[in-house]
Amino acid sequence: MEVDLQNPELYINRELSLLEFNRRVLAQAQDEDAPLLERLRFLTIASSILDEFFEIRVAGLKQQEAVGASQRGPDNLSPSEQLRQIRLVAEELIAEQYRVLNEVLIPKLDIQGIRLLEATDWNDKQRQWLKRFFRKEIAPVMSPIALDPAHPFPQPLNKSLNFIVTLEGQDAFGRQIGRAIVHAPRAFPRVVRLPDNVSTSPYEFVLLSSIIEAHVGGLFPGMTATGAYPFRVTRNSDLFVDLEEVDDLLRAVEGELSSRRYGDAVRLEVDVDCPDDLEAFLLAQFRLSRDDVYRCHGPVNLMRLAAVPDLVDRPELKYPGFTPSVPERFKNASDPFEAIRDGDILVHHPFESFAPFIEFLRQAAADPQVLSIRQTLYRTGPDSAVVEALTRAAANGKEVLVVIELRARFDEEDNIELANHLQRVGAQVVYGVVGHKTHSKMSMVVRREGRTLVRYVHLGTGNYHQRTTRLYTDYGLFTRDADFGEDVQQIFQQLTSMGKAGRLKKMLQSPFTLHRTMLSLIEREAIHAAEGKPAYIFAKMNSLVEPQVIQALYRASRAGVKIELVVRGICALRPGVKDVSSNIRVRSVVGRFLEHTRVFHFENDGDPLLYLSSADWMGRNFFNRVETCFPIEDPAIRKRILRECRLYLTDNAQAWVLNADGSYQKLTPGSAGRKSAQETLLQELGD
């Protein structure tokens, strides 16, 4: 039977799928099996994800709507149709966030002696302390702005905390002001812990917004503040760089960073008690409609509560600490090069330590036999040991080449500072390819051994960022395989010289060979299934969106290929549709660590092919980024990865199954007993 695989009903809208991921993260805040303070942290993460969703995705749709864009995605929804559906889901999610905070987490925290005090909770002693704190610490750095013809409405920074204040009485010049705007100082923490001498519980906190709201009248002497209502505006934060006109990418990105703080408004959050006339006034100032405002039954920025777990010393209310293990070969060798010389080594973060890679670079920086180091950096974080090692290598006279992607979203400023620092110490820095983000994760050390130059290579699925290696699951492969070395060298040369890379021996690369090879491998499984040969596809990634890949998977399913997918976030493929995707199963695992590995396995008629990659199956990864995908050839390593992937397929504690209607169903252990992939890997791989 012929089926139209481009039928919009076969595709889940990517924006709505992302909101479903937000729902799964929010569900972690309600998970009784998670420690209480971690549940609060998950709530703040869900809020942060939603912030970025509005800053980037909703902002983009609004731009398309404004210019009358007619292009539609595979689901055939117009920008306006998507915005209407997003409004309904986002409103529901935001209401649920505040319900979980107010009805679940705050009462449970209170039982544990961790209290978030509102003004109505303050006793006389606390009230006096907070009044002095406001007068001495906060008020001196505040600049309230009365609204009149000489003081037009200010433009608040993106996501900053502000108050609209209603006033009665005359100012010093005899004028009736009526309204004012007060901006909360950015220098102050949003959560203030009360000192022990005024606390009635072990941990008592007051939000900065509550302190300002209670004392804002003191900023307007001679007048009476009749109301103070917090609000927050979310702005378009996607940088625009005209790549056709750019002469210096670094300067272009620097120039756009400031505009991010004052981009077009896309969302207004106000306190639930904000009067309708003030809401309408704010909407008019930001040129927004009623569909763009969200009322908050609590702090207008839940992300600020992320500070609370770090301020509370209650280990039993947090995830237990763990020590990542170090592979035995690294432990037993005199240096990393000796360990790698004996064969490929796989590390699985965060269960296994990132320290071997740091030591790999540090040894390379100090080793007189090392001639050069080449490194890609997408996100590294401040005070990076990777950057420290590269700096030392340059100081020691090594040839150090670093490809820095300046346009790593929300890390642009750090990356500009990093680029300037490395250039100052003598490293050669390039910014990748204009028009294509350099997202590949590669490091190569060239070392003289006797009369031969040997290339030692590290390839990964995630960033060279020490903090995220403790929070994200990622694979890294160390190898001195000559073919890998030649491939990596060719890719680096391509990034610096812009010349055409020759045919790579083993690796796949976007935007050249990765997409067509994935399509070919999926199609091969379909052919094998049709011929009655063993056929199976397993893929694990962050997002699955690209239409041609989805159609190839549909064709493979129709041919009888069993397909198992672990997709953490966005999935536009609709599984379980009769005569289309009945052989496809999709699940998402959301737990303590952010799943970030990209693994692609093809049965290949009994001669399995296994790849690790920096790329998801998204259009941007296939066509607009420089990505790498590399085969795992060592049988023992391949067997290990497949075994670890099977843990995710049997997870019944943190796994969600995608239904054909786009909803997700949380699995429960039942009589089978609890099975958590992340917990098992912590037990097996952690020290």
Query: For residue 2, is it within any domain?
Result: no
Triad 341, 347, 352: Cα angle to 5°? 125
Summarize pLDDT for 489-523 with one digit per residue, the tens.
999 999 887 666 678 999 999 999 999 999 999 99
Q: Domains in the chain: how many in total?
A: 3
Residue 452 makes CB contacts below 8 A (sequence gap 6+) with none
Q: What is the pLDDT of residue 381?
A: 65
pLDDT of residue 247: 43
Q: Looking at 35-113, list the stretches that DSSP marks H as alpha helix, in order from N- to C-terminal side.
A: 36-52, 59-66, 79-99, 106-111
* pLDDT band at residue 558 under the 50/70/90 scheme: very high
Residue 653, pLDDT score: 95
Give per-residue burial for 587-623: e unless 16+ CB within 10 Å, then b: bbbbbbbbbbbbbbbbbbeeebebbbbbbbbbbbbbe
Q: Are residues 606 and 535 part of one domain? A: yes
Region 544-553: what's the mean pLDDT? Answer: 98
pLDDT given at position 248: 42
- 626 closest CA partner among 441, 455, 443, 490: 441
| Domain annotation covers residue 256 | no
Q: Which of 349, 439, 465, 515 is catalytic?
A: 439
Same domain for 514 and 502, yes or no, is: no
Q: Are residues 516 and 502 in the same domain?
A: no
Helix (H, G, I), strand (E, B) or coil at 605: coil
Higher pLDDT, 169 or 232: 232
Q: Which amino acid is at 630?
A: F
Is the per-residue pLDDT at 486 higher than 90?
yes
In a domain, 20, yes or no: yes
Q: In the prediction, which pLDDT does 422 show?
A: 84
- Checking if the pLDDT of 337 tops 50, the result is yes
Q: Does 488 lie in the same domain as 559?
A: no
Report the chain's mean pLDDT, rounded to a whole number.
91
* Per-residue pLDDT tens over the stretch 249-297: 344 444 444 554 568 999 999 999 999 999 999 999 999 999 999 999 9
For residues 414 and 303, membership in a common domain is answered with no
Model confidence pLDDT, tens digit, residues 95-128: 999 999 999 999 999 999 999 999 999 999 999 9
Task: Give CA angle at 551 (546, 557), nearest 5°.
Answer: 130
Residues 59-84: tens digit of each pLDDT: 999 989 988 887 889 999 999 999 99
- pLDDT by residue (tens digit) across 588-611? 999 999 999 999 999 999 999 999
Looking at 296, 317, 338, the residue that finishes a domain is 317
Provide the pLDDT confidence category of residue 147 given band limits of 50, 70 and 90: confident
437 has pLDDT over 90: no
DSSP 315: G
Model pLDDT, residue 255: 45
Q: Are residues 502 and 523 in the same domain?
A: no
User: Domain containing 462: what range?
Assistant: 328-506
> Residue written as tokens 């300037």?
420
Check whether residue 525 and residue 645 sit in a common domain.
Answer: yes
Per-residue pLDDT band at 244 (split at 50, 70, 90): very low
Helix (H) or strand (E) holding 471: none
**Same-domain status, 313 and 389:** no
Write out the two tokens for 127.
Answer: 């009230």
Q: Which domain CATH number covers 621?
A: 3.30.870.10
Neighbours of 301 (CB within 10 A): 23
Q: Which of 280, 297, 317 is the last residue of a domain?
A: 317
pLDDT for 243 equals 38
205 shares a domain with 122: yes
Q: Are residues 267 and 347 in the same domain?
A: no
Determine, yes or no, domain membership for 337. yes
State pLDDT tens for residues 649-659.
999 999 999 99
Task: Grade residue 240 by pLDDT with cuts at 50, 70 and 90.
Answer: very low
Between CA 23 and CA 50 the distance in angstroms is 10
Residues 431 and 545 in one domain: no
Residue 609 lies in a domain: yes
**Shared domain check, 288 and 436:** no
User: Taking residues 20-43, what's their average pLDDT?
Assistant: 97
- What are the residues whose beta carbons fall under 8 Å from the beta carbon of 174, sequence distance 6 or more? none
For 118, counting Cβ atoms within 10 Å of its Cβ (0-12 exposed, 13-18 middle, 19+ buried), the class is middle
Q: Annotated catalytic, 151?
A: no
The pLDDT value given to residue 400? 95
180 pLDDT more than 50: yes
Closest by alpha carbon to 414, among 626, 249, 254? Answer: 254
Q: Which residues contact 591 (CB under 8 A, 6 or more apart)?
A: 28, 653, 654, 676, 677, 678
Is residue 255 in some structural domain? no
Beta strands in 480-615, from DSSP E residues, in sequence order: 508-510, 536-541, 562-567, 584-589, 594-595, 599-602, 609-613
pLDDT of residue 149 exceeding 80, the answer is no
- As given in the structure block, the two tokens for residue 286 are 């930001």
What DSSP assignment string belongs to 154-216?
P-PPTT--EEEEEEESB-TTS-B--EEEEEPPTTS-SEEEPPGGG-SSSEEEEEHHHHHHHHG
pLDDT single digits (tens) 601-646: 999 999 999 999 999 999 999 999 999 999 999 999 999 999 999 9
Closest Cα partner for 520 from 586, 609, 435, 598?
Answer: 609
Give the model's pLDDT for residue 277. Answer: 96
Given this model, what pLDDT does residue 150 score? Answer: 65
Residue where a domain terminates, one of 506, 537, 565: 506
pLDDT tens digits for 378-432?
877 657 899 999 999 999 999 999 998 765 455 566 667 777 778 888 889 888 7
* Domain harbouring 173, CATH code: 3.30.1840.10
Q: If you average pLDDT over residues 449-458, what whole number do you get?
A: 96
Please report whether residue 172 resides in a domain.
yes
Please check whether residue 251 lies inside any domain of the structure.
no
Name residue, tokens 């007068």: 135
Contact 686, 322 (CB under 8 A): yes
